Amino acid sequence: MLISIRHITRYRYDRAARSHVLSLRLTPPSFEAQRVLSWSVKAPGYDRSLRFRDGFGNIGHLASISEPHDEIVVEASGLVETWDRVGIARGLVEVAPRPVYLRQTPMTAPDEAIRKLAAGIEATDLLARLHSLMQRVRDEIDYEIGATSAHTTAAEALAEKKGVCQDHAQVFISAARVLGYPARYINGYYLDGGSGESEASHAWAEAYVEGIGWVGFDATNCLCPTDHYVRVAWGLDAISAAPVRGSRSGGEKEALDVVVEVQQQNNQQ
């Protein structure tokens, strides 16, 4: 499948910021499930030569602004060809040792409710246990936009019984680590329906299964990633896999606006 993506992130400030440094993880990798045909990133102070691989293997870029500004617009766009690999992610640049993904973070730290959720998984087959966990997470947390924020932890989302894809992914990751599975958070895009156009940045989880490798689990939609998914960045949680992170000097009352367009293209193009 050919999928075109346009992702615009806009920051505005009531009082101008004096300087800004941005770390951008907005470039999808090519691996067995996807091939990047074209891609561009635009941002103030963006230098294409300042490309790096972070500690997880993500492709990153730096942008630096050294003059007063009350707005920043970051745009990533391109065309990606995808294939359905039944959720298995092979061919990625792996930098972090696998045990790193067993480490809980403040965003995924389990409480008694998450430990109880993990303990309730009865399947004995390794892969079946993770599929059961995915279903349990979705059963426990209703999808509700605006119910949580970017700073909501896995434990808080489970307690609220509602959230979005970030919350589903982080609760799954927390419980998977409790069960002894290395697990990681994936940021990317999802084409809903497979035809026409959808507006969706998305998040899901991956867990490592011995004998198979890294397998994706999207608890929001209760399925493993297919050719409707485009992977961008991964990490221990939503913060470490965030597409845009930065620090600034000055600037007050930040307002964030994000627009994402995901559209299937004709394979003959």
pLDDT value at 200 more than 70: no
Residues 6+ apart with CB under 8 A from 41: 24, 26, 27, 48, 61, 74, 75, 76
Tokens standing for residue 257: 């606006």
pLDDT averaged over every residue in the chain: 92
Q: Calculate mean pLDDT across residues 13-42.
A: 93
- In the prediction, which pLDDT does 124 show? 81
Find tokens 């061919």 and name the residue. Answer: 91
**Residues whose CB falls within 8 Å of the CB of residue 210, separated by 6 or more in sequence, listed in order:** 126
Q: Is the pLDDT of residue 103 over 70?
A: yes
Q: Look at 90 and 268; give whichever has higher pLDDT.
A: 90
Asked whether the predicted pLDDT for residue 112 surpasses 50, the reply is yes
The Cα–Cα gap between 225 and 201 comes to: 14
Q: What is the pLDDT of residue 199?
A: 53
- % pLDDT > 90, the chain: 75
Mean pLDDT of 108-136: 94
- How big is the CA angle at 59 (ends 57 and 65), to the nearest 5 degrees? 135
Enter the tokens of residue 234.
């991964």
Q: Which position has the higher pLDDT, 150 or 199?
A: 150
SS3 call for 100: helix
Instruction: Read off the pLDDT of each residue in 177-202 and give the average, rounded to a whole number.
Output: 82
Contacts of 34 (CB under 8 A, 6+ apart): 28, 80, 81, 82, 83, 230, 231
Give the separation between CA 184 and CA 215, rounded to whole angstroms. Answer: 10
Domain boundaries, the chain: 2-265
Residue range 48-99, pLDDT digits in tens:
767 899 999 999 999 888 888 889 999 999 999 999 999 999 999 999 999 9
- Render pLDDT for 226-241 as a digit per residue (tens, 0 to 9): 999 999 999 999 999 9
Instruction: Say yes or no: domain 2-265 is CATH 1.10.3720.10.
Output: no
Q: Predicted confidence band at 195 (pLDDT cuts at 50, 70, 90)? A: very low
Mean pLDDT, rounded, for 2-12 = 94
46 class by beta-carbon count within 10 Å (0-12 exposed, 13-18 middle, 19+ buried): middle
